[in-house]
């Protein structure tokens, strides 16, 4: 048996089309501000994609690029100005920030109603209290792909591997919101393989290349692989390739469905950011949130 390959690229494209349609029906154009500090090449690539897709969806993109020498106060001053700017609906501070800047302090400056990354303490609190709010993008993408594959998730056992603030913890809360029975596993978890084998939905999010092997997976389970790890390529010496936290080759023989890396969860992050920007704009400006963005 071979698992269904979950096409995150196609799902993300469909979601962006829904965002585009929704934006066209709004009374005004939502705006997303992106703050990029320093010259991390990967961050520049991510931000370029975010800007491109924001514009493709019919929204306004505002960019603030600061040199690596910018101080924490410089970045905070920009965030505060964006908070005050009535034209701005969403603020995203690209991470990681240069090491001398305290990212927690910067993130906390973002007004929760414009926190389209869902990273502030208020957003995390709203999520854990089950109150409406902006949800973190990558975990939202994971739930969307699982729901698309399995339909109603009620009662399913979801094992989230990893307890990071960016992915593991919010993913667990979001699967709980879908009425899953959720277990969060981490580096100190006992009998990890057996626990993973009990999962109907397995969500590895630890950043360890190909850690989850096929015999960790319950036959027919759905594997939503959050890992994006760069490893040396065997086929092309001197080159690298991307792999997930799941060993795709062995897992796909056992799972019912699995996300590939790349092309699985990754593309969902930006699509959910665009969705959050529309949600933030509607909520701030008192417009009805378009129903086709719901899931
Ligand atoms: N850097 C890598 N991924 C992300 C993300 O989803 N949001 C932010 N703000 N920075 C990132």
Specify the CATH number for 136-265; select among 3.40.50.720, 3.40.640.10, 3.50.50.60, 3.40.140.10. 3.40.50.720
Say if 27-112 and 136-265 have the same CATH topology: yes
99 is catalytic: no
- C-beta of 95 in contact with ligand 1 (< 6 A): yes
Q: Is the pTM of this model over 0.95?
A: yes
Give the DSSP letter of residue 217: S
Strand partners, 212: 246
Q: What is the pLDDT of residue 108?
A: 98
Q: What is the pLDDT of residue 32?
A: 98
Distance (angstroms) between ligand 1 centre and the Cα of 15 equals 19
228-284 pLDDT tens trace: 999 999 999 999 999 999 999 999 999 999 999 999 999 999 999 999 999 999 999
Biggest CA pair distance of the chain: 56
Rounded Cα distance, 140 and 295, in Å: 10
What is the atom index within ligand 1 of the atom nearest the CA of 137?
Answer: 6
Identify the band that residue 295 occupies on the pLDDT scale cut at 50, 70 and 90.
confident
Q: Cα torsion for 182, 186, 189, 194, to the nearest 10°?
A: 60
Q: What is the pLDDT of residue 105?
A: 98
Rounded Cα distance, 137 and 58, in Å: 19
183-242 pLDDT tens trace: 999 999 999 999 999 999 999 999 999 999 999 999 999 999 999 999 999 999 999 999
- C-beta of 117 in contact with ligand 1 (< 6 A): yes
19-67 pLDDT tens trace: 999 999 999 999 999 999 999 999 999 999 999 999 999 999 999 999 9
Give the DSSP letter of residue 222: E
What is the atom index within ligand 1 of the atom nearest the CA of 96?
Answer: 1
Token pair belonging to 18 = 């829904």
Per-domain residue ranges of the chain: 27-112, 136-265
Kindly report the CATH class assigned to 27-112: alpha beta
b/e 31-60 (16+ beta carbons within 10 angstroms → b):
bbbbbbbbebeebeebbeebbebbeebbbb
Q: What is the pLDDT of residue 292?
A: 84
Residue nearest to atom 2 of ligand 1 (CA): 95
Q: What beta strand segments (E) does the chain contain?
A: 4-5, 31-37, 60-66, 90-93, 157-161, 181-185, 201-204, 222-223, 229-232, 240-243, 257-258
Of 46, 82, 104, the one to substitute when testing ligand 1's pocket (max ligand atoms within 8 A of C-beta) is 46
117 is catalytic: yes
131 is catalytic: no
């Amino acid at each position: 048996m071979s698992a269904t390959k979950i096409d995150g690229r196609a799902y993300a494209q469909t979601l962006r089309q829904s965002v585009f349609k929704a934006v066209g029906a709004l009374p005004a154009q939502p705006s997303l501000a992106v703050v990029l500090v320093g010259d991390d090449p990967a961050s520049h690539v991510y931000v370029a994609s975010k800007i491109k897709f924001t514009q493709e969806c019919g929204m306004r993109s505002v960019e603030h690029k600061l040199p690596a020498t910018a101080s924490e106060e410089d970045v905070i001053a920009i965030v505060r100005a964006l908070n005050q700017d009535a034209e701005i609906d969403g603020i995203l501070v690209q991470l990681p920030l240069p090491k001398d800047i305290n990212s927690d302090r910067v993130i906390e400056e973002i007004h929760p109603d414009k926190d389209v990354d869902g990273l502030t303490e208020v957003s995390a609190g709203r999520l854990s209290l089950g109150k409406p709010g902006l949800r973190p993008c990558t975990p939202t993408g994971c739930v969307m792909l699982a729901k698309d594959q399995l339909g109603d998730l009620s009662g399913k056992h979801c094992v989230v591997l990893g307890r990071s603030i960016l992915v593991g913890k919010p993913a667990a809360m979001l699967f709980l919101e879908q009425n899953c029975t959720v277990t969060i596993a981490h580096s100190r978890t006992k009998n990890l393989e057996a626990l993973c084998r009990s999962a109907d939905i397995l969500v590895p999010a630890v950043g360890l290349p190909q850690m989850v092997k096929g015999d960790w997976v319950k036959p027919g389970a759905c594997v939503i692989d959050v890992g994006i790890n760069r490893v040396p390529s065997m086929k092309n010496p001197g080159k690298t390739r991307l792999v997930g936290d799941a060993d795709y080759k062995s897992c796909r023989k056992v799972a019912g469905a699995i996300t590939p890396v790349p092309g699985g969860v990754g593309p969902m992050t930006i699509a959910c950011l665009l969705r959050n920007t529309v949600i933030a704009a509607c909520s701030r400006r008192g417009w009805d949130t378009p129903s086709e963005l719901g899931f």
